[in-house]
Amino acid sequence: MPGFFRSRAGRQCLSVMMLGGVLWLLGILLEFGDGLSAFVQMFDDYGAEKLVLAFVIAGAMSFIYSILRIADLRREMELRAAAQFKADWTATHDHLTKLPNRYAFERKKLARPDASDEEYNAAARNVTVFSVDLDGFKKVNDLVGHKGGDILLIEVARRICSLGNADCVYRFGGDEFVIIGAGMTEEREKHFARVLIQAVTRPISIEGFAVEVGASVGYERWTEGSEPLENAAHRADLAMYEAKSRGPNHALAFEASMQDKVAERASLETKLRTAIQQKAIRPFYQPLIDLKTGDICGFEALARWSDDTGVNIPPPVFIGIAEETGMITELFENLLSQACRDALGWHAHIVLSFNISPVQMEDRLLASRILKVLAASGLPPERLEIEITENALIQDPAIAAVILDELHAAGVQIALDDFGTGYSSLAQLARYRFDKIKIDKSFVATYQEDERQEKIVRAMLGLGHSLNIKTTAEGIEEHSQLGYLTRLGCDIGQGYLFGKAMPADQAAAFIEERMQTLSAAG
């Protein structure tokens, strides 16, 4: 009931009751009762007594109605409060795991200024924020479907909550969780992070499959009143991403250098965006040599970028950023367009080899983008060879099959790059049609020192011959490697022994020089 009187209707009811009390006291002071009795006696013949009785009954009925109305209003307020509580709970909790969400975290109040428990406040003012992200969650979704993924998330949430108070565990969305621990020492923080990883990474049985995920953990200490709690959560996130970059199941405390690294990456992202718009990233070309004739049979286009200060940015760095930020499509089309125009100046038998990013293999329009560039440049499709890694094919096999079929139908050649280093190499050869397989340079570099590697190289070359697929050996740097691969029947060689990646004008000169050398030798 006290809550009722805080509402507008409650305040009005209270005002009317007070007014009634004032009028009642005033009536007593003015002897209104005696006057009313005299009035009734004077007009008794006219029915005054019945009129007064009617007023009394009407007042009583009004009072009863008011009581009932007050009860209705109270019930309505309780229902409204319950609905508001439910709406607030829904807004501040994850519907799947029932954990508080990011919005609840932002509203979190750890210390109570009016609390009498000094020990509680002291602990609450010094807390550690842990950020946990699952590694390999997408693979679980691919294996057991999204329903199975939901089961995994619920189980992970349960395991994390079992380590401490569930009110201090949050799901920020996707496969990211945040945990708040109070009053931890530095050693306790490290131990708790390890326990988190152990709890998350234990196998989980889903629909008969025993699935496992990894976990990356970052954490940061926060003192109440020093700054918003969200700032500490952000730094814990940075530590978590740094841990993730070092491989699965790592835990790291935040360090200032991590913030500098993020700032440097943001600056590089801005520079990259500008470089793509200005077409400042150029294709360089590394020669592909026919090992049977010594002739040039192609060039592999490799992206190269020097920023405004002349510093060379490694391709894995800027290509990785382009993939993460969605700039890879524009970068790819720019490089392919330039490479196709450069290839028009080469001899007709020289093929342009171009790499496809795994991210691009999820683009259903990839084949049409490639064919559009070919049409605009005038390069025949038969002179383009697309290189695809095995890992790119497992992202979405159905889409990959459609893309490869469309390219093959147009006459574009397909090469399986880094053969032997990805997933299910033989399965890829059985499922898709390839014109060439490229033996990864790691095998070429170690076959002389490792007998097993040497047998693998032999098996790869034998497999290519039996399937009537040409083989290319990458990373040839020594004459002994060249002689060995030639004796085993390898078709094409690539590596520093023949030439490093070079700009277009040097590639054209390289072709002429090679042609003259072969003519003189012939």
Per-residue pLDDT of the chain (522 residues; tens, 9 = 90+): 555 556 666 676 677 677 767 766 766 665 665 665 666 566 565 555 566 566 667 777 777 777 777 778 778 888 888 888 888 888 888 889 889 988 888 877 654 444 445 544 555 567 899 999 998 887 787 778 888 889 999 999 999 998 865 558 999 888 899 999 888 889 999 999 999 999 999 999 887 778 889 999 999 998 877 788 889 999 999 999 999 988 889 999 999 899 888 888 889 999 999 999 999 999 999 999 999 989 999 999 999 999 888 889 999 999 999 998 999 999 999 999 999 999 999 999 999 999 999 889 888 999 999 999 999 999 999 999 999 987 777 777 888 889 999 999 999 999 998 887 765 457 677 778 899 999 888 888 887 788 888 888 898 899 888 889 999 999 999 999 999 999 999 999 999 999 999 999 999 999 998 888 777 766
DSSP 46: G
| Residue whose pair of structure tokens reads 């530095």 in the numeric block | 186
> If we measure between CA atoms, which residue out of 58, 25, 52, 55 comes closest to residue 39?
52
- Structure-block tokens of residue 341: 């125009």
Q: What pLDDT, on a 0 to 100 scale, did the predictor assign at position 113?
A: 43
Q: How far apart are CA 57 and CA 120, in angstroms?
A: 60
Q: Within the chain, what is the greatest distance between any pair of CA atoms?
A: 147
Determine how many CB atoms are found less than 10 A away from the CB of residue 75: 10
DSSP 435: S
Q: Topology of 102-254 in CATH?
A: Alpha-Beta Plaits (3.30.70)
Backbone phi and psi for residue 59, each to the nearest 5 degrees, phi listed first? -65, -40
Q: How far apart are CA 253 and CA 221, in angstroms?
A: 9
Q: How far apart are CA 367 and CA 394, in angstroms?
A: 17
Q: What pLDDT, on a 0 to 100 scale, did the predictor assign at position 141?
A: 78
Domain residue spans of the chain: 4-91, 102-254, 265-437+448-521
- Structure-block tokens of residue 5: 């009187």
Same fold, 102-254 and 265-437+448-521: no
DSSP string computed for 87-119: HHHHHTB-TTT--B-HHHHHT-----TT-S-HH
Q: Which CATH number fits domain 265-437+448-521: 3.20.20.450, 3.30.930.10, 3.40.50.920, 3.40.640.10?
A: 3.20.20.450
The angle subtended at Cα 48 by Cα 47 and Cα 52, nearest 5°, is 120
Residue 12: which residues within 8 A CB-CB, separation 6 or more?
none
